[in-house]
Chain A
């Protein structure tokens, strides 16, 4: 009896059905989403430019903040030659890819963290009745404008370490682009699952916090962790594909190159799994009443 009322909201919450065998329609949907996203970005940009000084100061501070955390690596390498079997530029590149992926995730997906609040306030219902994918609406609504500083730090780190390795080629730069986008998607998937817990438990800040902590693993070479932990971070919560594995392609590290090459595939698979979980969770969503 109670299920019947939730059933209707869940149906609305379901993503647009895939256009079966009609490529024209899929393309149309895609174009529609891109243009809507463009309008979201434009609104975001305009609100940003209302307080340009605050924006600049916050982001310079953000850059200092992220350099402060990289200082650990730099200070360490004034004393030592390697972490495990990785040299200074290699560790820097892994660290750089990690915060590159993470800052892209942070920039574009930060509103995932509000899902718990939206569930509590009943704002999710508003998204469900609109003719757009609910996940898209949650994510597209806001860019985290405090996060360009970390992005700049990441670009500097990657650029510098590629130079130190003598690997600053066009092909490698393109690969960096592919791998940080994959990394962003992997982080986003982890956070989608963590935040979708709000549909079961209403309060999900604990899971969110855990998701943020899991990101920390990607800052250092994944093979320093024990065998089981490393397997977990490769095949279950595949965050190692956000930094460690894609870097192996640039190091031309024979053993790990096949794993490096499947980075985008892993990202797509992870996202699919996370999205299915999200849909399941949304199906279960009954609202908090009122």
Chain B
């Protein structure tokens, strides 16, 4: 598949520009340490919060740190500058669809971040006995779910990037990204939310980014419910991809490039 070549190229590019590797590793470690200390302190006077034990919580949040690079908000999806400078013409004449091209390109850099900073962190945390591999069935479900999580986070940024090109404003979803992170369950799992916020988060697609894969990994999702969780994630992710197609097709029609 030709798009996988984009993935490979981006991954290799990551290997070449590894200057910031140590700093990324160090700040990843700091964030992980903060999370560990915070949750240990939160659970000091209680064994379970909203039915979640400390062990499950650490597993949820620290696996979240391991996958943070993979599920990070993709950068450079803003289409407005490409339109303003007219370079979008080059993207459009290529025999590849720009939406899919970007999806696979960013997958390459996400995979690079997962391997370069996520994997060492995972190894360290499992040597320290904080993270444990779940059984094979859960693990497979988690990997599938994590991949869909990537598609979901990409789609969120892509839709917002395309919208900036309608609104011509510099403000996009990255300016409101903490709200997406909150609703995705990146700070706390959704069962911690008060009723109305839980309802909002359950009915938005963002939980497909983070909550669903991490709940599967940590065992918050009961073994019997894993399949239905993955299926609902598939549904949400599919809807997001569809939305990407719609706004993207609409944007191309709407497009006028000036000058030349």
B170-A65 in contact (CB<8A): no
Min C-beta distance of B97 to chain A, whole Å = 30
CA distance A78 to B46 in the complex (A): 14
Contact with B along A84-128 (1 / 0, CB 8 A): 100000000000000000000000000000000000000000000
Contacts of A65 in B (CB 8 A): 175-179
Interface: A273 (CB within 8 A): no
CA distance A229 to B33 in the complex (A): 10
Contacts of B24 in A (CB 8 A): 206, 209
A76-B42 in contact (CB<8A): yes
Contacts of B147 in A (CB 8 A): none
B27-A209 in contact (CB<8A): yes
B171-A72 in contact (CB<8A): no
B178-A66 in contact (CB<8A): yes
Contacts of B1 in A (CB 8 A): none
Number of A-B residue pairs, CB cutoff 8 Å, is 106
CA distance A122 to B171 in the complex (A): 32
CA distance A221 to B41 in the complex (A): 10
Contacts of A217 in B (CB 8 A): 30, 34
B27-A61 in contact (CB<8A): no
A83-B23 in contact (CB<8A): no
Partner of A72 from the list B23, B170, B182 (CB cut-off 8 Å) is B182
Interface: A69 (CB within 8 A): yes
Known: A210-B23, A213-B27. A78 touches B194 (CB 8 A): yes
Min C-beta distance of B127 to chain A, whole Å = 18
Contacts of B38 in A (CB 8 A): 83, 220, 224
Interface: B20 (CB within 8 A): yes
Chain B residue nearest to A69 in the complex (CB): B178
Contact with A along B39-52 (1 / 0, CB 8 A): 01110111001100
Contacts of A57 in B (CB 8 A): 169, 171
Contact with B along A214-255 (1 / 0, CB 8 A): 101100110011100100000000000000000000000000
Known: A80-B42, A84-B41, A224-B41. A61 touches B171 (CB 8 A): yes
A75-B187 in contact (CB<8A): yes
A79-B182 in contact (CB<8A): no
B170-A54 in contact (CB<8A): yes
Give the interface centre of A66, A80, A209, A229 by most chain B CB atoms within 10 Å: A80
Chain B residue nearest to A68 in the complex (CB): B178
Secondary structure of the B side of the interface? helix
Contacts of B27 in A (CB 8 A): 209-210, 212-213
Partner of A71 from the list B20, B169, B187 (CB cut-off 8 Å) is B187
Chain A residue nearest to B175 in the complex (CB): A61
Contact with A along B163-179 (1 / 0, CB 8 A): 00000011100011111
Chain A residue nearest to B52 in the complex (CB): A79
Contacts of B248 in A (CB 8 A): none
Contacts of B33 in A (CB 8 A): 225, 229
B182-A68 in contact (CB<8A): yes
Chain B residue nearest to A226 in the complex (CB): B37
CA distance A202 to B40 in the complex (A): 40
Contacts of A206 in B (CB 8 A): 19-20, 22-24
Contact with B along A245-272 (1 / 0, CB 8 A): 0000000000000000000000000000
CA distance A214 to B175 in the complex (A): 22
Interface: A169 (CB within 8 A): no
Known: A68-B182, A75-B187, A214-B30. A83 touches B37 (CB 8 A): no
Contacts of A79 in B (CB 8 A): 49-50, 192
CA distance A69 to B20 in the complex (A): 25
Chain B residue nearest to A222 in the complex (CB): B37
Chain B residue nearest to A203 in the complex (CB): B19
B49-A75 in contact (CB<8A): no
Residues from 1 to 40 in B contacting A, C-beta threshold 8 Å: 19-20, 22-24, 26-27, 30-31, 33-34, 37-38, 40
A213-B41 in contact (CB<8A): no
Partner of B179 from the list A64, A209, A216, A225 (CB cut-off 8 Å) is A64
Contacts of A78 in B (CB 8 A): 192-194
Contacts of A58 in B (CB 8 A): 170-171, 175
Interface: B188 (CB within 8 A): yes
Interface: B246 (CB within 8 A): no
Interface: B56 (CB within 8 A): no
Min C-beta distance of B172 to chain A, whole Å = 9
A216-B34 in contact (CB<8A): yes
CA distance A209 to B188 in the complex (A): 25
Residues of chain B whose beta carbon lies under 8 Å from any beta carbon of chain A: 19-20, 22-24, 26-27, 30-31, 33-34, 37-38, 40-42, 44-46, 49-50, 169-171, 175-179, 181-182, 187-188, 192-194, 197
Can you spell out 11 A-B residue pairs with CB atoms less than 8 angstroms apart? A66-B178, A67-B178, A68-B178, A78-B193, A205-B19, A205-B20, A210-B26, A212-B27, A216-B30, A216-B34, A224-B40
What 7 A-B pairs have minimum CB-CB distances, sorted nearest first? A68-B178, A206-B23, A213-B27, A224-B41, A61-B175, A72-B187, A84-B41
